Structure 1
């Protein structure tokens, strides 16, 4: 295991965290109900905090953290805007957030399954998994609320 491999995996997760934070911010814009907007604002802040922690780890390992999300996520946010215009904004926002969160959970799981992460990097990502599972349950609850 080299720091370069850890840095690469962490930057991959970092891009997805940035995407997630931006996705929640976009969901806040299109949601109608205040309860959903508040949830999305809190989750966006939580993802930014995770990203800050990953950036610090990357720097600790001697790397340079990514500063932007992915092009695919930008396209997804455009889709969210269009989708919200065509249906219930709350439903569109929740569906988009759920899709993004599933992608984030997968990225973290993939990174954790490699033997290429430093011990400290594994600890950070493992800690994130608990929060992501709790968020999944909340998103499921919100999905039921709009049905």
Structure 2
């Protein structure tokens, strides 16, 4: 894969991490449930950390990291849905975060399925996907938070 394509894939993931980080920060500010608030704060930090890992690889492949969140895209719409869910309470925020994490995991899976992605990029993407999947399982385990 030529470097421009690697950089493009990485910048796409970077932008989606910016979106997720912002969404989780907003969710943490709005949610009442203490365990979910802590979860959201941790995930915002994870996405921040993911971003730095991605930026390092973008630089390695001769690219310039994108700055800021996306204006369009599925994950952006997901985080807007989370913002809209704030009006309807913790359960709606929780449900939208589950949906967002599933979409995020799928996005990482698509990158891993690309047979021409360099191994170091695959290794980083795999590690981040495993973290996302673990976080999703943790979030799902809190499903009964409203009981």
Q: TM-score of the superposition, structure 2-length normalised?
A: 0.89
Higher relative contact order (CA 8 A, sep 6+): 1
CA–CA distance in structure 1, aligned partners of residues 58 and 42 of structure 2 = 24
Is 2:39 aligned against 1:30?
A: no
> 1:5-39: CA deviations, max 9, x gaps?
11111111111111111111111122012221111
The match for 2:136 is 136
Root-mean-square deviation (Å): 1.7
Q: TM-score of the superposition, structure 1-length normalised?
A: 0.89
> 1:58-100: CA deviations, max 9, x gaps?
0111001111222245554444333222x2x221221221122
The match for 1:81 is 83
Q: How many residues align?
A: 145
| 1:1-147 matches, cutoff 5 A | 1-72=1-72, 73=75, 75-85=77-87, 87=88, 89-146=89-146
Which consecutive unaligned segments of at least 5 residues does structure 2 have?
none
